[in-house]
Amino acid sequence: MKLELAKAGNHNGITITEKDLKEMQENFSNDVPVTIGHELDDTMPAYGWVKALKLSEDGQTLIGTVELNEELEQSVAEGRYKNWSIGAGSTEEGGMYLHHVAFLGAVPPMIKDLKIIELGDKSKIFTFSMKHGKCSFTLSDKELAEFNTLKKQKHEATVKKLSDATAGKLPFGKREELISFADNQLSAGREDIVEMLISAFASVKKPVSPGLSESINSAKSRITENVFSKI
């Protein structure tokens, strides 16, 4: 199977250059693993291997010769994995290298319109599109630091948004527990859960504070006394 793995250009705010693609080809070592998803650990099995890399004639596309195991090859043919993207890193000298190729289920890839060029004796060609997606392409240390800084700022802003939405609406201690829970969910990538909490609490009105309640009751009492004193 031959796959388009990466294209030169700006993808979701990350720029991949022809130089990056050339470096990945030049720094390629045999048997780069194929995985399912980008969450990697030492116990994860390889579902295939990248056997060779080459550049397109115009140098704009990195193409890989990929061997998949029977399970993943069948899943791809059946359309269960229609997206893929790469993980890349920097060598000690600063050049790019291909770390892995990840097949994705429902998660869209960073680079759109990657195609299967050759699938054994199968003629079906998949074309992929991307609306949103997480960047899994590691560039320079500076760009990675900037990305992590923006991610942290967004994380903190979302937590503050929930803190503001829940102010005065939960008993003492419970609000702190909820914010801690939300912080953990954001760290796990579940922004959808936190946004749902923000939306829910934003629609809840603050209860009348005890001080205000006492003032209202006192005023009502004075009015009642004045009414009866005039009868």
pLDDT at 74: 84
What is the domain partition of the chain in residue ranges? 2-139, 141-231
Q: List, for residues 182-227, the tens digit of each pLDDT value.
A: 888 887 778 888 888 999 888 888 764 544 445 545 555 555 555 4
Assess whether pLDDT exceeds 70 at residue 49: yes
pLDDT at 225: 55
Instruction: Show Cβ contacts of residue 87 under 8 Å, excluding neighbours closer than 6 positions.
Output: 38, 40, 98, 99, 100, 101, 102, 136, 137, 138
pTM of the model: 0.47
Which of 67-71, 111-115, 128-132, 207-211 has the highest mean predicted lDDT (pLDDT)?
Answer: 67-71
Q: List, for residues 144-159, the tens digit of each pLDDT value.
A: 566 567 778 888 889 9
101: which 2 tokens? 């190729």
Q: What is the mean pLDDT of the chain?
A: 72
Distance of CA 32 to the CA centre of its chain: 23
Beta bridge partners of 54: 63
Question: What is the radius of gyration, based on Cα positions, of the chain?
Answer: 28
- Cα separation of 205 and 23, whole Å? 58
